[in-house]
A = this chain, B = another copy of it.
Amino acid sequence: MSPSPDRAARSRANGHGAAVVWLTGLPASGKTTIARAVEAALFGRAVQIYVLDGDVLRRGLCRDLGFSPADRTENIRRAGELAALFADAGFVVLVAFISPTAADRHAARHAASGVSFIEVFVDCPLAECQHRDPKNLYQRARAGEIAHLTGVSAPYQAPKNPEVHLHTDTTPVAECAARIIRHLELGGVLPP
C-alpha cells in the first residue's frame, strides 16, 4: 500500500501550498466580506480554497456552545483545529472570526503548526462598525439584548504583530483581498 499523501505531495498535486489565513476584528469590520472576496479570486485561479465562517460553524460543529467566555474560547479552539485539518488536506483556508483575545489566536496558530499561519487584522474604527452594523448586533447590544458584544461590553485585544494589517474604513474590499493574496504569493504559498 502506498503511504498517505503528505502535505508536500498534496502541494505538488494542487500546484500551491497550504495556509491558514486568520481574519480577526470587531463585529462588522469586514472579515467575512474580505474572506469571500479572497475566496472568489483564488477559486478562479484553481486554488483549493475554503472559508470557515463563524455563523456556519455555530449552526453545526459548534452548536453545543453558547457565548460565555469559556464557550467562546472553545468555539475558537475548534475553528483553529478545523483550519489545521483543512490545511493538512492541502487547502488555503480562511477563518473569519472576531477572536478577540491574543491567547485564543495564539492557540489557533499553534494548532496549525507546520503550515503558514497568516494573521490578518481587519482594523476598522468602532464608530464605523457601529454605523455599518449589517446584523444589527450593535443596535441589539444597546437595547440590552446581547450581553457581551466585543468592542462594546467585551474587550477586543488588537493584534500587535499581524502578518497583514488592513484598514477597512479607508481601503476598498478588492484592495484588502489583493493585499492578502499578495502576501500568500510573496510567502510562497501561491505561485506568483
Indicate whether A84 reaches chain B with its CB closer than 8 angstroms.
Answer: yes
Q: How far is the CB of A164 from chain B (nearest CB, A)?
A: 19
Q: Are B86 and A1 in contact (CB under 8 A)?
A: no
How many identical chains are in the complex?
A: 2
Bound-complex Cα distance A44 to B2 (A): 10
Q: Are B1 and A36 in contact (CB under 8 A)?
A: yes
Indicate whether A91 reaches chain B with its CB closer than 8 angstroms.
Answer: yes
- Which one of B3, B40, B60 lies within 8 Å of A81 (CB-CB)? B60
Query: Can you report 20 A-B residue pairs in the complex whose CB atoms are below 8 A from each other?
Result: A1-B33, A1-B40, A4-B36, A4-B39, A4-B40, A4-B51, A5-B39, A13-B43, A13-B46, A48-B48, A52-B85, A60-B81, A60-B111, A61-B78, A61-B82, A61-B85, A64-B74, A78-B78, A82-B85, A89-B91
Using a CB–CB cutoff of 8 Å, the interface residues on chain A facing chain B are 1-5, 9, 13, 33, 36-37, 39-41, 43-44, 46, 48, 50-52, 60-61, 64, 74, 78, 81-82, 84-86, 88-91, 111, 173-174
